[in-house]
Amino acid sequence: MFRRNGFDVATASTAAEGLISIASHRNDVTVQGLVCRDLPGLELVKQLKARARTVRIVALSEFPDGANLEPIRAERFALVVMKPCRPDDLLRHVVQLISGPRPRRRKGVKRV
């Protein structure tokens, strides 16, 4: 979907692949699921941020009603997209994110 719309895309199936990818590509945005097979999602996010401080991370996850979102808010994602979501909605959110000004400081969680 992203490639069909003119984006350069690097993918990773594991956290280890994602960390290698972020080191070898200049990513403007990383769409990151919060459930990983080989590393807790939030731990992966912390490691991604340490390696690529300027990348904007879009969290793609679902939270049950009443879930404690404080750990998510603490990571200051550029955006949190809730599952299930349509691919064209995810694309639209990413396009809006990269088209707008880069925030200096991210606050809270914007759930869409």
Is the model's pTM score more than 0.85?
no
* Higher pLDDT, residue 30 or 72: 30
Query: What pLDDT does residue 4 have?
Result: 93
Query: What pLDDT does residue 106 have?
Result: 45
Three-state secondary structure string covering the chain:
CCHHHCCCCCCCCCHHHHHHHHHHCCCCEEEEECCCCCCCHHHHHHHHHHHCCCCEEEEEECCCCCCCCHHHHHHCCCEEEECCCCHHHHHHHHHHHHHCCCCCCCCCCCEC
- Domains present along the chain, CATH in parentheses: 3-99 (3.40.50.2300)
pLDDT category at 105 given cuts 50, 70, 90 is very low
